[in-house]
């Protein structure tokens, strides 16, 4: 298990927990800078997965046998652990496990949006949303007649809060905002947005996919009505994510999916629903993944989310500094010295992002190239695609230097 001193991460000891980082490609050691897409998995989480399948594997909530009881207790406790991880004092009843952030968004859009929205209603979101929220609200708007409005971003990639105040009115039913932008790295003032939304009797949904893994999150301090995240971006497995919802909202909403596990009583005419959160977890859930996501929360808490945030901000600032040395490189989002998430998207004049990513891959440097599921934002920025380097607890400044050296190669190839 990684240990840390009072201020900084003990990177060497953290890296020792991630066996995949030792992989080499073409004689070069992997430099993994695609963490905003998916983070790597540390040994304690891998061990939890292996141990679960070796010792505990069984279906939950059904069997009276010992294995099923052990699996049920571990799976249910995992909900409490994740609730606690993001500051939800209501425990498991406010923590629904989903497949990922995208499913959490859709759960709220279908279970709340389809029933509550109609012509004349408005959904206010931002120009920097990930498609998982943008497309979902856009389509729910089309189906219900509700109008979707977008809060502008300024030159530096910050939300224009005057515009937010203009757009959020008595007609607004839902404000939906990304906490940390996966393209710009902007950390949005979601608490302030929550206050504005609530002043107008609207709800707020926060997409925390890039926040929960990287900084301390307190959904009650934000006063979020709903808050979504993914396990695979926080050192956990794929196939699992979370949706926090205020209890009275989760109580009053219709289920999103129907079937086994989510019912209390069924007859041929009608059905009633199980307690929270099971009402929203139809069918056999991702049991092992849920338990492993709780192990990931333990792992991150042991390191300290405040230290993780500081480390990632330092790496982002260093990357900005290094990229700014080159006149032909344009970086996006808040400039140097401004608080931001641990990622930097950039564009090199004359080199397509996909070509660049391929050349970086030849150096075993893994980055993301494309629109990062924020196509309208890229349209607004006037670029078809960008290259994104995103950092996590095991990344170092030396790895950013490797990235910069590899960029030089790309530049020479395309010069
Ligand atoms: N929201 C943001 C800000 C993201 O960065 C992502 C993934 O990149 C998502 C939502 C969607 O996450 P998932 O694919 O795990 O549903």
Mean pLDDT of 221-232: 98
Strands (E), 289-375: 329-331, 343-348, 365-366, 368-370
Q: Is 210 in the pocket of ligand 1 (CB under 6 A)?
A: yes
> For residue 187, is it within any domain?
yes
Give pLDDT, residue 5: 55
Give pLDDT, residue 411: 82
Which residue range is the domain that position 21 belongs to?
A: 11-32+304-414
Q: 366 with 225, same domain?
A: no
Give pLDDT, residue 3: 46
What is the enclosing helix (H) or strand (E) of 269?
Answer: none
Q: 23 with 87, same domain?
A: no
Tell me the average pLDDT of the chain. 96
What are the tens digits of pLDDT across the range 309-319?
999 999 999 99
> For residue 37, is it within any domain?
no
Ligand 1: centre distance to CA 180 (Å)? 11
Q: 155 with 257, same domain?
A: yes
Give pLDDT, residue 367: 98
Q: Is 100 in the pocket of ligand 1 (CB under 6 A)?
A: yes
> For residue 360, is it within any domain?
yes
Closest among 257, 219, 222 to 95, alpha carbons compared: 219
Q: 78 with 18, same domain?
A: no
Mean pLDDT of 127-151: 98
What are the tens digits of pLDDT across the range 327-372?
999 999 999 999 899 999 999 998 999 999 999 999 999 999 999 9
If one residue of 34, 36, 101 were mutated to test the ligand 1 pocket, choosing by the most ligand atoms within 8 A of its CB, it would be 101
Longest dimension (CA), the chain: 72
How many domains does the chain fold into? 2
Domain boundary (280, 302, 324) is at: 302
> For residue 362, is it within any domain?
yes
Q: 204 with 108, same domain?
A: yes
What are the tens digits of pLDDT across the range 166-216?
999 999 999 999 999 999 999 999 999 999 999 999 999 999 999 999 999
Atom of ligand 1 nearest to the CA of 102: 16
Of these residues, 74, 203, 308, 373, which one is catalytic? 373
Domain with residue 339: its CATH number is 3.90.1150.10
Q: 347 with 293, same domain?
A: no
> For residue 222, is it within any domain?
yes
Domain boundary (275, 302, 329) is at: 302
Q: 396 with 254, same domain?
A: no
Long-range contact list for 190-195, CB < 8 A, 24+ apart?
190/222, 190/224, 191/221, 191/222, 191/223, 192/161, 193/159, 193/164, 194/222, 194/223, 194/224, 194/225, 195/223
Q: 140 with 249, same domain?
A: yes
What are the tens digits of pLDDT across the range 233-269?
999 999 999 999 999 999 999 999 999 999 999 999 9
> For residue 4, is it within any domain?
no
Instruction: DSSP letter for 360, please.
Output: H
pTM: 0.97
Q: Produce one character per residue of 360-376: b if its CB has 16 or more CB atoms within 10 Å, e if not.
A: beebbbbbbbbbbbbeb
Domain with residue 187: its CATH number is 3.40.640.10
> For residue 383, is it within any domain?
yes
pLDDT of 4 strictly over 80 = no
Mean pLDDT of 10-28: 97
Q: 131 with 222, same domain?
A: yes
């Amino acid at each position: 298990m990684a240990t840390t001193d009072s201020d900084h991460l003990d990177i060497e000891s953290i890296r020792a927990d991630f066996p995949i980082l030792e992989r080499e490609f073409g004689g070069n050691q992997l430099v993994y800078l695609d963490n905003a897409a998916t983070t790597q998995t540390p040994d304690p989480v891998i061990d939890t997965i292996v141990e679960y399948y070796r010792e505990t594997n069984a279906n939950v909530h059904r069997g009276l046998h010992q294995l099923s009881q052990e699996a049920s207790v571990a799976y249910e406790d995992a909900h409490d652990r994740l609730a606690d991880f993001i500051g939800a004092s209501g425990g498991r009843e406010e923590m629904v496990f989903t497949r990922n952030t995208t499913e959490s968004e859709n759960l709220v859009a279908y279970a709340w949006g389809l029933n509550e929205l109609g012509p004349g209603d408005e959904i206010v979101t931002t120009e920097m949303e990930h498609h998982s929220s943008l497309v979902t609200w856009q389509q729910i708007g089309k189906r219900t007649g509700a109008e979707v409005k977008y809060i502008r971003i300024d030159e530096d990639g910050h939300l224009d809060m005057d515009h937010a105040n203009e757009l959020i009115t008595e007609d607004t039913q839902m404000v939906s905002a990304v906490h940390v932008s996966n393209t710009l790295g902007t950390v949005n003032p979601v608490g302030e947005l929550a206050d504005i939304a609530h002043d107008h009797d609207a709800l707020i949904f926060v997409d925390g996919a890039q926040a929960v893994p990287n900084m301390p999150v307190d959904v009650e301090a934000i006063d979020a009505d709903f808050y979504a995240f993914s396990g695979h971006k926080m050192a956990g497995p794929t196939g699992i994510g979370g949706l926090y919802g205020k209890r009275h909202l989760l109580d009053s909403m219709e289920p999103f999916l129907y079937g086994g596990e989510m019912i209390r009583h069924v007859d041929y005419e009608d059905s009633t629903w199980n307690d929270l959160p099971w009402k929203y977890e139809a069918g056999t859930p991702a049991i092992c993944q849920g338990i492993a996501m709780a192990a990931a929360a333990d792992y991150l808490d042991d390191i300290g989310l405040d230290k993780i945030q500081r480390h990632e901000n330092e790496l982002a600032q260093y990357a900005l500094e290094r990229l700014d040395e080159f006149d032909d490189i344009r970086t996006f989002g808040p400039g140097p010295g401004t608080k931001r998430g641990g990622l930097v998207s950039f564009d090199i004049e004359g080199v397509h992002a996909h070509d660049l990513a391929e050349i970086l891959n030849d150096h075993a440097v893994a980055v993301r190239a494309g629109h990062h599921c924020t196509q309208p934002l890229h349209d607004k920025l006037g670029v078809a695609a960008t290259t994104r380097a995103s950092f996590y607890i095991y990344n170092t400044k030396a790895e950013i230097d490797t990235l910069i050296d590899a960029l030089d190669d790309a530049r020479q190839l395309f010069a």
